[in-house]
Amino acid sequence: MRALLLLLLLLVAAGAQAVEPSERLADPALEARARALSKNLRCLVCQNESIDESNADLAHDIRVLLRERIKAGDSDDEVRRFLVSRYGAFVLLKPPFEPATYALWFGPPLALALAGLAIALRLRRSRAEPEAPPLSDAERRRLAQLLEEEG
């Protein structure tokens, strides 16, 4: 039941709101930056949305604050750091590239490399092996017999 409520919450949050015209910055370049940043920030009271999409109050507040900081001259990095210092790396939808997440980012390419290597070795080895062991005498006789039977 609680999970259902959470689902409802998401859908209420999704009820066609998110970025309000009144929030938008006048300067289109700054507004574009704000939108791009918002798309990478997690809505902390939603289940899996960015603050750009969510209509939660907190998302709205952070959107407004974010735009204030951009107007005040913060760079994208500074805005991100501002929020991470308050909410932790959890607030970023794109995990940062740092020691705690090296395993995350290196994982897939490493898996690809290792799997590719394993396959390459396997292919090379199977080609080095003979196709099939030669028949023993008894087997050759049986084969001749069977072929005769087949007629």
Query: Of 3-11, 70-78, 135-143, which part binds another protein (CB under 8 A)?
Result: 3-11
C-alpha closest to that of 96 among 35, 19, 42: 42
Q: Which is nearer to another protein, 8 or 144 (CB)?
A: 8
Structure tokens at 71: 């107007």
Per CB under 8 A, does 64 bind another protein? Answer: yes
Per CB under 8 A, does 57 bind another protein? Answer: yes
Per CB under 8 A, contacts with another protein among 83-122 are 84-95, 100-101, 103-104, 107-108, 111-112, 115-116, 118-120
46: number of Cβ within 10 Å = 20
Angle, CA 7 vertex, CA 50 and CA 85 arms, to 5°: 35
H or E, element range at 11 = helix 2-13
Contact 90, 80 (CB under 8 A): no
Per CB under 8 A, does 136 bind another protein? Answer: no
Per CB under 8 A, does 151 bind another protein? Answer: no
Kindly state the number of chain residues that form the binding site for another protein, as judged by CB under 8 A.
65
CA distance to 12, 17, 43, 46, 69, per residue, from 5 (Å)? 10, 19, 17, 12, 34
Q: Which residues bind another protein (CB under 8 A)?
A: 1-4, 6-8, 10-12, 14-22, 24, 40, 42, 44-45, 47-50, 53, 57-58, 61-62, 64-65, 84-95, 100-101, 103-104, 107-108, 111-112, 115-116, 118-120, 123, 126-127, 129, 131
